[in-house]
Amino acid sequence: MIRGYAGKLLEVDLSAASFREVKFSDEILKDYVGGRGLAAKILWDRLGSRWETVDPLGPENLLLLLTGPLTGFFPGGRVCVSGKSPQSNGVIGSTVAGEFGVELKCAGYDGIIVAGEAEKPVYLFIKDGDVEVRNASHIWGMDAKKTVAALTKECRGLLKTRYPQKGEWKEPAILYIGPAGENKVRTAVVAAKWTHAAGYGGYGAVMGAKKLKAIAVKGTGPLPEVADMESVKRLMQEVCNNAYESELWRRWGTGAGGYDVGAKTSSEPVRNWQEEWHDEKSFGVDQFENRVWVKQYWGDFGCPTTCLKLAVVKSGKFKGAITDNPDYELQAYVGTNLGIFTPEGNVYMASVIDDLGLCGIQTGNVLGFAAELFQRGILTKKDLDGVELRWGDAEAFATLARKIAYREGIGNILAEGTCRAALKIGELKGVDVMPYAVQVKGVGVGAHGIRSEKDYPEIYSYACSVQCGDHTSVACMPLDDFRSELMMAFHDSGVYCYFNVFGLPRTLVFDFYKAVTGIELTKEEWVNTKAMKIIQLQRAMLLLGGPDLKWNPEIHDDNPPRFYEPLPSGPYKDKTVEKARVEEEKRRYYELMGWDERGVPKPEILKKLGLDDVDKVLERLR
């Protein structure tokens, strides 16, 4: 057996309320590692042949919660959430920080496969090998903070009653959904603690469709045996020492971006990306630090960086709002993108989003979209159920966020996410509103613009990514570039936080992998064979799509229309992205990936990678 793994997965069929253990061969684990890679493999094997007909929000879909061999060892523990995405209709590996992955491995499982759907709301309670589906009617409908409080109390009570000899029980780790997930909102997250979210992909809606409110797990065993503990310890120390050197990164996390990315690189969404520049000093990191952060270093299992901060608004009309930094993405998406430029307004919006179980990025994207339609008079106050959606009005945006989470009125349309909402509104109003939808293949684009070309994504990065608008998985050349999604797939498959990799030699993660698993792996081998296989699988399922939307790469492997408009302000005023250049880069990327001129993986590359079955299914698209 390969080291670093617990050795089995737990499969739960909620329709039948039955469990079984699933094991994978060493060959599969060597090829797909865990997390995102293994998710792609499981989904392809189980659903690939009929992918187009599988409804992401139906009982046929699988919800996957997978660790990787490095989870718990590489500083900064996470768990990867996946399944058929109700946003892209493909597969997204969405990771969330916290102790869930560690508890799961300590309980003896590398992951959980959730199939079917429950009749009534339930939650899963796992204590080592004891697994139970429990009634969740009493917590269904609760917001994030109430859910965590109720489950922590209930599960500690269960542990105390059932295993009384132990003394004080520590809380189990919990993954859960808020009201948005329950209502199958496509921008809903699978959450941990508070403010920790697997956002991209919309897996909160998948969990909600399965009527699975939460999973609580307590594992009392050790993490699995590793191949070489002395090397693991040495590498852990090396990762930590590197992180300790980076004082500003630790002190501010990504929270310095709210000002910097706008003012300096001019690549921050401002008022639904109508601009990407601002010089609002009221939004400086010093203001967050001095006014709202009550804990400067907040982190998850083994993390040396602790880049999260706790923010609490102590006075004024938003008094009592609690959230994290907010991190850069939420500073941008429920801050500048909505014309909100005060830490208090931003913290308030983020806390509303957290409580409802919404994704800050995707929901901020659709809120900005709606506000621009209001600005242009396409959506009226009447259409918005009486809400005057003016830029900067945090209370109006919060009202609309609640409508989205509960699918009330216009919220029911916006709950479908920007792409689907744009199609619906266009149909209702008889106006093409796609030019205002800043999304790629159903996924709102992360808060790093490409027009100034001063930020990290390339002009073709979102257009060609198998995770679409996901800013943590962008297409890049050369394919082994540290930003490339082929490299990101390693972090998402080993399942740990890649923020702790910054500043380290790029091969360290492979040394770490060897120390844990005992298996030699070079960067070249990873990129050219293993990651290549994972990305081809993801690409295949993305292109198969369905059942509601299907992507034609000739049309949809593209940037949002807005990215072709010139920047109206800032140091890169008038700068834009030329379509011809995007097309040229796309062609180069397709070639490197072994895709034909339409973007479909060619038989040659698939056969070379041993993916003959994928080739057969893709015949349908050629």
Partner 1 sequence: MTEKREAIWIARDLSRCSGCRKCEIACSLFHEGRIWPEASRIRVFMLVPGVEFPHFCAQCEDYPCVEVCPTKALSVSKETGAVLVDTNTCIGCGNCIEACPGKVPHMHPRENRVLICDLCGGDPQCVKVCQEGLWNVLRIVPRGTHSYRLYARRPEEIARDLAVKIYGEEGKRLL
Name the minimum Å distance from CB 548 to partner 1: 35
Q: Which stretch binds partner 1 (CB under 8 A): 55-63, 306-314, 488-496, 550-558?
A: 306-314
* 152 lies in the binding site for partner 1 (CB under 8 A): yes
Task: Mention every residue, 6+ apart, whose C-beta is less than 8 A from residue 584.
Answer: none
Q: How far is the CB of 139 from partner 1 (least distance, A)?
A: 15
According to the binding rule CB under 8 A, does residue 171 interact with partner 1?
yes
User: Hey, what are 161's tokens?
Assistant: 């009653």
Task: Answer for the pair 407, 187: CB distance below 8 angstroms, yes or no.
Answer: no
Q: Residue 20 class from Cβ within 10 Å (0-12 exposed, 13-18 middle, 19+ buried)?
A: exposed
Residue 12's SS3 state is: strand
d(CA 187, CA 206): 11
User: How far is the C-alpha of 27 from the C-alpha of 9, rounded, in Å?
Assistant: 16
Pattern 313-332, partner 1, x by CB under 8 A = -x-----x-x----------
Which is nearer to partner 1, 337 or 500 (by Cβ)? Answer: 500
d(CA 567, CA 205) in angstroms, rounded, equals 35
Q: How far is the CB of 247 from partner 1 (least distance, A)?
A: 9
Q: Which of 106, 394, 396, 445 binds partner 1 (CB under 8 A)?
A: 106
> Per-residue x/- mask for partner 1, residues 53 to 72, rule CB under 8 A?
-------------------x
For position 73 contacting partner 1 by CB under 8 A, the verdict is yes
CA atoms within 13 Å, Cβ hemisphere of 220: 10
Report, in Å, the least distance between residue 25 CB and partner 1. Answer: 26
Of the pair 21, 225, the CB lying nearest partner 1 is at 225
- Residue 140 is encoded by which pair of tokens? 């269904």
- Closest CB 102 distance from partner 1, rounded Å: 7
Beta strands 196-198; 130-135: pairing state: unpaired
Tokens 């630090």: give the residue.
289
Q: Are strands 190-192 and 173-176 parallel, antiparallel or unpaired?
A: antiparallel
Contact between 458 and partner 1 by CB under 8 A: the answer reads no
Q: State which of positions 266-305 bind partner 1 (CB under 8 A).
A: 294-295, 297-304
- Identified binder of partner 1 from the candidate list 233, 281, 573, 622, rule CB under 8 A: 233
Find the binding residues for partner 1 in span 83-102 (CB under 8 A): 99, 102
Question: Of 151-159, 265-273, 467-475, 591-599, which part binds partner 1 (CB under 8 A)?
Answer: 151-159
Does 595 contact partner 1 by CB under 8 A?
no
The beta-carbon contacts of 244-253 under 8 Å, at least 24 apart in sequence, are 244/304, 245/503, 246/305, 246/502, 246/503, 249/305, 249/307, 249/502, 250/297, 250/304, 250/305, 250/306, 250/307, 251/296, 252/285, 252/289, 252/307, 253/305, 253/307, 253/308, 253/309, 253/325, 253/327, 253/328
Beta strands in 102-211 (DSSP E): 111-115, 122-127, 130-135, 173-176, 190-192, 196-198
The reply to whether 229 sits near partner 1 by the rule CB under 8 A is: yes
Q: From CA 56, how far away is CA 39, in angstroms rounded?
A: 15
Alpha helix positions (H), 99-178: 100-106, 144-162
Distances (CA, A) of 568 to 260, 369, 455: 18, 18, 17
Q: Which is nearer to partner 1, 222 or 377 (CB)?
A: 222
CB of 318 to partner 1, least distance (A): 12
Q: Considering the rule CB under 8 A, would residue 167 count as an interface residue with partner 1?
A: yes
Least distance to partner 1 from the beta carbon of 193, Å? 4
Kindly state the smallest distance separating residue 210's Cβ from partner 1, in Å. 24
Q: Does 622 bind partner 1 (CB under 8 A)?
A: no
Quick one: which of 194, 283, 318, 333 contacts partner 1 (CB under 8 A)?
194
Which range of residues in 118-126, 161-169, 372-380, 571-579 is near partner 1 by CB under 8 A? 161-169
Q: Does 312 bind partner 1 (CB under 8 A)?
A: yes
As measured in angstroms, the least distance from the Cβ of 501 to partner 1 is 17
Interface residue with partner 1, options 20, 50, 162, 166 (CB under 8 A): 166
- Of 322 and 475, nearer to partner 1 (C-beta) is 322
The distance of closest approach from Cβ of residue 207 to partner 1 in the complex, given in angstroms and rounded to an integer, is 19
- List the one residue from 22, 28, 227, 240 that touches partner 1 (CB under 8 A): 240
Cβ neighbours of 381 (radius 10 Å): 11
Radius of gyration for the chain, computed over Cα atoms and rounded to the nearest angstrom: 23
| 220: contact with partner 1 by CB under 8 A | yes
Type of residue at 352: V
Interhelix angle for 343-356 vs 144-162, to 10°? 50
Kindly tell me which residue out of 17, 149, 428, 431 binds partner 1, with binding defined by CB under 8 A. Answer: 149
- Residue 378 interacts with partner 1 (CB under 8 A)? no
Least distance to partner 1, CB of residue 118, Å: 26
Residue 240: C-alpha distances to residues 97, 278, 300 (Å): 17, 35, 14
Kind and range of the H or E run holding 63 = strand 63-66
Nearer to partner 1, 148 or 495 (CB): 148
Tell me, by CB under 8 A, how many residues bind partner 1: 46
β-bridge pairing 196-198 and 212-218 = unpaired
Q: Indicate the residue among 163 and 564 with the shorter CB distance to partner 1.
A: 163
Q: Are strands 9-13 and 111-115 parallel, antiparallel or unpaired?
A: parallel
Which stretch in 149-157, 256-264, 367-375, 502-510 sits in contact with partner 1 by CB under 8 A? 149-157
Nearer to partner 1, 475 or 515 (CB): 515
Instruction: For residue 552, count other CB atoms closer than 10 A to its CB.
Output: 12
Smallest gap, in angstroms, from Cβ of residue 4 to partner 1?
11
Task: For residue 616, state whether it binds partner 1 (rule: CB under 8 A).
Answer: no
The binding site for partner 1 (CB under 8 A) comprises 72-73, 99, 102, 106, 145, 148-149, 152-153, 156, 165-168, 170-171, 193-195, 219-223, 225, 229, 233, 240, 244, 294-295, 297-304, 306, 310, 312, 314, 320, 322
